[in-house]
């Protein structure tokens, strides 16, 4: 593994464009928009900044990118950073960071991911219906009142096994 390694996530600005080198090796070029919240602003702030980074995928990865990716897809890219020095149309010398991708993973939009099937049961202590899903607990009253974030249901006695404590 190379010491020169970079991992970035972002949104594809345009559809990937495949071409071939003179020796007939496929390469797919993509523009990745990487956004971040600038220092000094709050996490909930609407102010974001961003960069556009050129990403190159070679050979089999190039073929897969052309087939499966489109503009607007969110991706996670692991690759090697390099500097591309060139002269633009106006005669100015430019330098840009590019990424030669080793792997590209399509990231599903978190909001569109479906929760696993849930079961509805009645709590015998309060006779209040609960909606339980894989360790998360959301009461029906919460759903009706607009609370949409599930809370992690934990029982401290189940989490601590006193037989494993070394004293």
Tens digits of residue pLDDT in 40-73: 776 665 667 788 999 999 999 999 999 999 999 9
129 & 101 share domain: no
Burial of 12 (0-12, 13-18, 19+ CB in 10 A): buried
Residue 128: pLDDT band (50, 70, 90) is very low
| Cβ count within 10 A of residue 31 | 17
The token pair that represents 80 in the structure block: 């090697």
- Looking at 88, 109, 130, the residue that finishes a domain is 109
Average pLDDT, stretch 89-93? 95
d(CA 123, CA 138): 12
Asked if 80 and 148 sit in the same domain, the reply is: no
Query: What does pTM read for this prediction?
Result: 0.59
Same domain, 82 and 104: yes
166 within some domain = no
Same domain, 64 and 132: no
Q: Report which secondary-structure segment, H or E, holds 102.
A: strand 93-107
102: pLDDT strictly greater than 90: yes
For 124, the domain range is: 119-161
Same domain, 32 and 104: yes
CB 132 within 8 Å of CB 118? yes
Tokens standing for 124? 């015998």
Report the alpha-carbon distance of residue 29 to residue 80 in Å, rounded: 14
pLDDT at residue number 130: 44
Count of the separate structural domains present in the chain: 2
For residue 167, tell me if it sits in a domain. no
Q: Is residue 98 scored above 80 in pLDDT?
A: yes
- For residues 14 and 54, membership in a common domain is answered with yes
């Amino acid at each position: 593994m190379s010491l020169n390694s970079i991992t970035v996530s972002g949104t594809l600005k345009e559809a990937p464009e495949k071409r071939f080198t003179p020796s007939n090796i496929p390469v797919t070029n993509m523009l990745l928009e990487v956004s971040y919240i600038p220092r000094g602003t709050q996490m909930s702030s609407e102010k974001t900044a961003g960069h556009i980074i050129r990403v190159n995928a070679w050979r089999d990865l190039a073929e897969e990118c052309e087939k499966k990716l489109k503009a607007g897809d969110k991706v996670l890219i692991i690759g090697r950073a390099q500097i591309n020095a060139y002269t633009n149309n106006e005669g100015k010398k430019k330098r840009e960071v590019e990424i030669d991708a080793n792997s590209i993973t399509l990231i599903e939009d978190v909001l569109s991911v479906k929760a696993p099937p849930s079961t509805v049961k009645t709590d015998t202590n309060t006779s209040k219906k609960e909606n339980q899903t894989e360790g998360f607990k959301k009461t029906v009253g919460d759903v009706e009142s607009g609370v949409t974030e599930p809370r992690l249901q934990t029982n401290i006695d189940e989490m601590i096994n006193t037989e494993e404590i070394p004293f």
